[in-house]
Structure 1
Amino acid sequence: MYVCVCNAINDRQVKQAMNEGMLSVRALRQYFAYPEKCCGKCNRCLREMINEHLGESVDGCTSQDMCEECLA
């Protein structure tokens, strides 16, 4: 499934990046060299995938913007 439609990034690519140590939204965005023009709708999905990968629960952040907590 596509995680980021703007940049054509799918869940398999994200999982591979996480296996390589990219464990924050910021790290994933840098890994995939996101351009400035990204709608941001993928942020929540990325956080959920990271939390699932780390075995943590989703903290309830509903922001689609790049808040500091999401970037950590």
Structure 2
Amino acid sequence: MTFSVRLKGEQTAMAVAHEMPLLDDEGRVMAVRCPSAGCGAVVDLISGRLDGHIVRGQECRMSGVRVVVSEE
């Protein structure tokens, strides 16, 4: 499973999920592991964006970024 994330003003980054993301009853991705270095939190996807989350006492820079998930 791979997913891409795009921060505002930056190129799309690809990340590989080594574990299956959390899926709902209809097979839609509900949560993925944050690809930010040093974070790795399991984060809910809200309308295709990573939900806000905290790493080392501060909001993770990946909070709110758009995520596209695909199988590979």
Length-normalised TM-score, structure 2: 0.30
Length-normalised TM-score, structure 1: 0.30
More strand by share: 2
Structure of higher CA gyration radius: 2
